[in-house]
Amino acid sequence: MKNNNWPRKNIAGYRWFLMTILGIIFISASMFLAYRYDSILDIVCSILFIISGCMFIIVSVRLIATDMLHKYLRNSSKEICVKDKDSCVYEKEILDKGPKIVAIGGGTGLSTMLRGLKAYSSNITAVVTVADDGGGSGVLRQDLGILPPGDIRNCIMALADTEPIMEKLLQYRFQDGMLKGQSFGNLFLAAMDGISPSFEQAVQRMSDVLAVKGRVLPVTLEDIKLCAELEDGYVVAGESKIGDHNSFHRCAIKRVYLEPRKVKPLDEVIEAIGEADVIVLGPGSLFTSIIPNLLVDGVCNAIKNSKALKVYVCNVMTQPGETEGYSVSDHIKALERHSFQGIVDYCIFNTADIPELLKKKYAEDGAQIVRVDPDELDKLGIKLEGGDFVCINNSYIRHDTMRLAQAIMNLVIENAFGKDNRKSAGYVNAIKQYKNMVG
């Protein structure tokens, strides 16, 4: 399939030049007609030409600003990682002026994306599902009665500005004894919950300790259970069983829902969605990480009423037990069935090849490359953003965190953030000052 980034990459740098030339031509024509002045028609045409010329010039200036911001962003993501005393001040200034990003999901996919986005903005809000009932999180949830900490811990670590040894410590899983398989980070968050008035404040305190850029919010503070109704009417109860349901009842998922049905969202989640420049759904497990957030009361309405750009990051591979045989449009149709039509403006998907050995390995587990079907996506009114977003890590296919973040930022600049000239100008000026200082 043809990558629809190509036209923008080849033409974007010349749009402002064309607009400027057209503006000059129209203004010159208006001056000529005004000078000639043979009839009232000349005056009318002169006025129309000068208005059109001025509009072309204004559009040109905006295009120049947007293209400049693109160039600075492409060159700045690595430079922002410099860590001396003075550069940290400018780094904070740049990130503080970044776009307001709300990322909704859970699991490994969300935390992978957050690691890249934190290089561009500190105004990030990660909204995380709390339906997990398996593994170490499930044990702590059952024994201590707390919300599952695993996905929240991963997002905190992804946004944290801490030493590698601290991250290694918090991600460490015990190998023996009663704590076997349990993550130290989960225990840390559980202990913080024990000395805090609420789980929400425990998450905030852990974030403060680890100097998190942005914030991590559970979508709700209520104890919920995720259930899946299959196509034949069979119901699977529990998040950890849904992905594994083919082992005891093979059938496609029709829908998922929460128990109880009425679930109050965290107020800060609704506020963040309303103030966002961009809302990103995914990447991650469609039915067990992304959609559960949309089932919480008020979340879909907040997304629908938000003026933010809505982006869905599609998984590279299908997921056994959830999305076997799914195309990109099937993912979006599932999102719309559980929310509302038009929840997505743009869909980011991978177009890069996957090594044959990895294809075979994933096929043995029932996973395949998510098929791109542009005609169906066009019927849904979805704009496409394809590219090479694959990263192979220990024989696992993941999204490349920096390339994915760059693609999201490009969309933000072109469609949302870049429309506010004051915001974009402040962002560019901060990056300029930073480059001058470190250069």
Query: What integer is the mean pLDDT of 155-164?
Result: 90
Query: What integer is the mean pLDDT of 77-93?
Result: 52
C-alpha gyration radius of the chain: 25
pLDDT of residue 67: 64
DSSP assignment string, 205-241: HHHHHTTBSSEEEES-SS--EEEEEETTS-EEESHHH
Contact status, residue 159 vs residue 152, Cβ threshold 8 Å: no
pLDDT of residue 418: 53
Residue 25 has pLDDT above 90, yes or no: no
pLDDT of residue 88: 58
Looking at domain 84-161+211-220+266-438, its CATH class is alpha beta
Contact status, residue 138 vs residue 178, Cβ threshold 8 Å: no
Q: What is the pLDDT of residues 177-213, one digit of tens each?
A: 888 889 999 999 999 999 999 999 999 999 999 989 9
Confidence of residue 48 (pLDDT cuts 50, 70, 90): confident
Query: What integer is the mean pLDDT of 52-77?
Result: 65
The domain locations on the chain are 6-76, 84-161+211-220+266-438
Share above pLDDT 70 across residues of the chain, in percent, rounded to a whole number: 81
3-state SS class at 12? helix
pLDDT of residue 156: 96
Question: 421-438 vs 85-96: helix axis angle to the nearest 10?
Answer: 170
- The structure tokens listed for 360 are 């075979």
Residue 353 has pLDDT above 60, yes or no: yes
Confidence of residue 90 (pLDDT cuts 50, 70, 90): low
Contact status, residue 129 vs residue 289, Cβ threshold 8 Å: yes
pLDDT of residue 201: 96
Query: What integer is the mean pLDDT of 349-359?
Result: 95
Task: Give, in order, the Cα–Cα distances in Å from 323 to each of 18, 68, 266, 369.
Answer: 46, 40, 29, 11
pTM of the predicted protein model: 0.82
Q: What is the pLDDT of residues 416-434, one digit of tens each?
A: 665 555 666 666 565 555 5
Task: Give, in order, the Cα–Cα distances in Å from 74 to each of 37, 67, 208, 227.
Answer: 50, 11, 29, 43
Confidence of residue 386 (pLDDT cuts 50, 70, 90): very high
Q: What is the pLDDT of residues 388-400, one digit of tens each?
A: 999 999 999 999 9
Helices (H), 77-198: 85-96, 107-117, 135-144, 150-159, 164-171, 184-194
pLDDT of residue 358: 95
Contact status, residue 49 vs residue 35, Cβ threshold 8 Å: no
For the chain, what is the largest distance between any 2 Cα atoms, rounded to a whole number of angstroms?
97
Residue 152 has pLDDT above 70, yes or no: yes
pLDDT of residue 83: 45
